[in-house]
């Protein structure tokens, strides 16, 4: 493990700072003692990261010394299926523009957030970083996953040719307060929470859930992920990609039952098996993160779900 970098002397640009993960990373940086005027959090309305000219202007105006690239165009199975071209283009373009300008400006560090969706569809479980290239990703989210994986190659190439210190982190599915609870674009946990809460409030007799429930997933509470990103920014300088997760898996059927119980919904669950399940299993080997920068998840899954449900209940219209 490397000696930690003192981040208090850096000007840290965070893309996607107003988003789900971004707002938690900003909070973690504040906890780490970063001054407010050293946390650079431009909005999408100020700079279009898919436009190379606007990214040049952003770097010249804000003058960061480090970049944490969290911004992404992403969604659940439905959103990935409906927007494969846009998700590929936008995620690749944003990353390419930012990495090139990090090289141009001689930044001290570039942190790229990848995705578990980059792994092969039938990767051995738990997913190990060494298996990242041993097959094609699951079809419904392959464009998004391949675009992110291409940025890993770019960072490794820029490290070799230009000496850019770029690291690549691959979080598993995240959940927590401020997630996207939209039923079309949201991921499985926020979508299920919303469905069950709204069904309970409406007195609905049943809730329809996509798929068969047989596939498994791993989930990481968003505050744990934010802590991992800041730890890696401080302590990790390697070219190898690193998984960021909690190191467990749960079937979607068990997840549905757990959320149904925690939200207090007492009706029936109807499975729509005509809808896709996605990747058969998903769980990460998280040993590299613990070894390279000392990260281990702290928030239990049940506790994280309770916090997320409580946040949604307090913010959703009754």
pLDDT in the model for residue 106 = 97
* Tokens, residue 184: 């079309």
Tell me how crowded residue 106 is: count the other CB atoms within 10 A of its CB.
Answer: 10
Query: What's the pLDDT tens digit per position in 212-241?
Result: 999 999 999 999 999 999 999 999 999 999
CATH number of the 7-175+218-249+281-299 domain:
3.40.50.720
Give the mean model confidence (pLDDT) for residues 89-99.
98
Distance CA 233, CA 200 (A): 42
Provide the sign of the torsion angle of the four alpha carbons 52, 53, 54, 60, taken in this order.
positive
Structure tokens at 191: 């979508």
Say what the pLDDT of residue 2 is.
Answer: 64
Which residues lie below 8 Å from residue 226, measured CB to CB, with a gap of 6+? 21, 24, 25, 27, 28
pTM of the model: 0.93
pLDDT digits (tens, 9 = 90+) for 277-314: 877 888 999 999 999 999 999 999 999 999 999 999 99
**What pLDDT is attached to residue 316?**
80
How far is C-alpha 11 from the geometric centre of its chain's CA atoms? 23
Average pLDDT, the chain: 94
Cβ–Cβ under 8 Å, residues 73 and 87 = yes
Q: Answer whether residue 34 shows pLDDT above 90.
A: yes
CA separation for the pair 21, 275 (Å, rounded): 28
With bands split at pLDDT 50, 70 and 90, how would you rate the model's confidence at 183? confident
pLDDT at 299: 97
**Domain boundaries, given as residue ranges, for the chain:** 7-175+218-249+281-299
Task: List active site positions.
Answer: 144
């Amino acid at each position: 493990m490397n000696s930690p970098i003192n981040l208090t002397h850096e000007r840290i640009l965070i893309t996607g700072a107003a988003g789900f993960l971004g707002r938690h990373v900003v909070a973690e940086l504040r906890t780490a003692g970063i001054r407010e005027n050293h946390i650079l959090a431009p909005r999408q309305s100020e700079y279009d990261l898919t436009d190379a000219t606007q990214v040049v202007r952003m770097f010249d105006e804000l003058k960061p010394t480090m970049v944490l690239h969290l911004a992404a165009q992403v969604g659940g199975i439905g959103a990935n299926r409906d927007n494969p071209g846009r998700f590929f283009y936008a995620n690749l373009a944003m990353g390419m523009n930012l990495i090139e300008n990090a090289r141009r400006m001689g930044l001290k560090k570039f942190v790229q957030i990848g995705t578990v969706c980059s792994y092969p569809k039938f990767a051995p479980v738990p997913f190990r970083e060494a298996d990242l290239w041993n097959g094609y990703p699951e079809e419904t989210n392959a464009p998004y996953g391949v675009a992110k994986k291409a940025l890993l190659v770019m960072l490794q190439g820029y490290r070799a040719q230009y000496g850019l210190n770029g690291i690549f982190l691959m979080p598993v599915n995240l959940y927590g307060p401020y997630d996207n609870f939209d039923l079309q674009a949201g991921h499985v946990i926020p979508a299920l929470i919303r469905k069950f809460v709204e069904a309970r409030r409406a007195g609905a007799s049943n809730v329809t859930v996509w798929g068969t429930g047989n596939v498994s997933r791993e989930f990481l509470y968003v505050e744990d992920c934010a802590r991992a990103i800041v730890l890696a920014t401080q302590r990790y300088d390697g070219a190898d990609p690193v998984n960021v997760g909690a190191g467990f898996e749960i079937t979607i059927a068990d997840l549905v039952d757990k959320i149904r119980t925690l939200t207090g919904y007492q009706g029936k669950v109807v499975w729509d098996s005509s809808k896709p399940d996605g990747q058969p299993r998903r769980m990460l080997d998280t040993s590299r993160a613990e070894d390279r920068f000392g990260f281990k998840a702290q928030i239990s899954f049940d506790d994280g779900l309770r916090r997320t449900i409580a946040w949604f209940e307090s913010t959703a219209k009754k």
